[in-house]
Amino acid sequence: MNWTRRGFLGRSLAGLVATIAAPRLTPAQSPSRPGARGAAVLCSRGETWGRKVNDPAWKILGGGGASLDAVIAGANIVELDPEDQSVGYGGLPNEEGVVQLDASVMSGKLKKSGAVGALERIKTPSKVARLVMERTDHVMLVGEGALRFARAHGLEEANLLTEKSRLAWLKWKENLSDKDDWLPPADGVYAEPARVTGTINVLAIDRAGDMAGCTTTSGLAWKISGRLGDSPIIGAGMYVDNEIGAAGATGRGEEVIKTCGSYAIVEAMGRGTPPEQACREALQRIVHWTRENPDFDVKYVALRRDGEAACVGLRGRKDKPPQCSIRTAAGFRVINGSYLYEIPGTAMR
């Protein structure tokens, strides 16, 4: 195919016009009418973490509580657990060995959102993001300002770098180059530590039909200090529209930001596209912007307001599909998602 720049721009413009012109279904026309399946909480992880996150969230939703309280309660579980090295306390640090956390929250009921980026020394960035949403006239605070804001609200400070994460960082640092002065121990044989972008999304609808979402992460391991991924960017790492549904992203944030992933999914659902197809189309856009069969991963999860859920990854294996989990009045269920490209059993970047 001969992709001239003029031709590409023409096609892009045509696509954009078609998208804008595509009618957005009214809530009454939508196949996803509220409350069709009652309250639900979706977590972007499978069995183990899914249960840990969905249980406290469901306790709130099942008792008639608010979706916003539920998603924060679920996110806090992973943020406070030092065993998870991709979110909150115990997350892998940046290239300087400093843990910097990103998080966003969004309330469909309030039509408001809040976010923090590169936040240090606070274990629960989702709580600070909620405070930004509810107690400021801003949407996002970052770095030192975000920390001062958290302090002003009395959040406890802590060293977020656990011994396990410090040692992982030191291994990376000492094996980075043979042109610097950091040397691995003479008797130590280091396996190259994986460079992860973990992250967790929690999306919920409550009995009143109100939706909320939260995404929280320590971001890309060994990142440049101050790097923000997609998680704190509203519309990229997470998006909620009370009349349609919610979506969230995990994986390589840079590609999600460039393609406004979560917003694109929610808008597609608003035009009547089923959640799984909406996630696939958002991933196809990343492929279009990068390359076929990319060597990084992105996973999208979506929860339509009638409770229909989906989970689709760029990459996966038949024996290890992308997963998410959902808790409703009917119980807890792991969803084995679909993916665009089959990969051999290698670690993902």
Query: In the chain, which ranges are continuous DSSP H helix?
Result: 5-21, 47-62, 67-80, 125-135, 143-152, 163-174, 253-258, 261-270, 275-289
The residue within the footprint of ligand GLY, chosen from 91, 125, 229, 313 (CB under 6 A), is 229
Query: Candidates 38-46, 89-97, 228-236, 319-327 — which segment interacts with ligand GLY by CB under 6 A?
Result: 228-236
**Angle, alpha carbons 242-198-118 (nearest 5°):** 80
Question: Is position 325 an interface residue for ligand GLY (rule: CB under 6 A)?
Answer: no
For ligand GLY (CB under 6 A), the number of binding residues is: 12
Which is nearest to 294 in space by CA: 259, 337, 335?
259
228 is in an annotated binding site: yes
Query: Of these residues, 124, 162, 197, 199, which one is catalytic?
Result: 199
CB of 50 to ligand GLY, least distance (A): 18
230 is in an annotated binding site: yes
Would residue 199 show up in a list of annotated catalytic residues for this protein? yes
For 133, the token pair is 């949403």
**Angle, alpha carbons 92-95-100 (nearest 5°):** 50
DSSP letter, residue 180: S
In the Cβ-directed half-sphere of 116, how many Cα atoms lie within 13 Å?
32
Question: Is position 90 an interface residue for ligand GLY (rule: CB under 6 A)?
Answer: no
Are the CB atoms for 330 and 305 separated by under 8 Å? no
CB nearest ligand GLY: which residue? 229
The residue within the footprint of ligand GLY, chosen from 84, 120, 230, 306 (CB under 6 A), is 230
Binders of ligand GLY in range 40-69 (CB under 6 A):
none
CA distance 195 to 300: 20
- DSSP per-residue letters across 231-283: TTSBTTTEEEETTTEEEEEEE-HHHHHHTTHHHHHHHHHHTT--HHHHHHHHH
State in Å, rounded, how far the first CA of the chain is from the last one: 30
CB of 253 to ligand GLY, least distance (A): 2
Residues 249-288: x where in contact with ligand GLY by CB under 6 A, - otherwise, as a string: -xxxx-----------------------------------
For 30, the token pair is 């939508």
Query: Candidates 61-69, 169-177, 245-253, 316-324 — which segment interacts with ligand GLY by CB under 6 A?
Result: 245-253
Residues 193-222: x where in contact with ligand GLY by CB under 6 A, - otherwise, as a string: ----x-x-----------------x-xx--
Q: Which residues bind ligand GLY (CB under 6 A)?
A: 197, 199, 217, 219-220, 229-231, 250-253
Residue ranges at the known binding site for substrate: 227-230, 250-253
Residue ranges at the known binding site: 227-230, 250-253
Catalytic site positions? 199
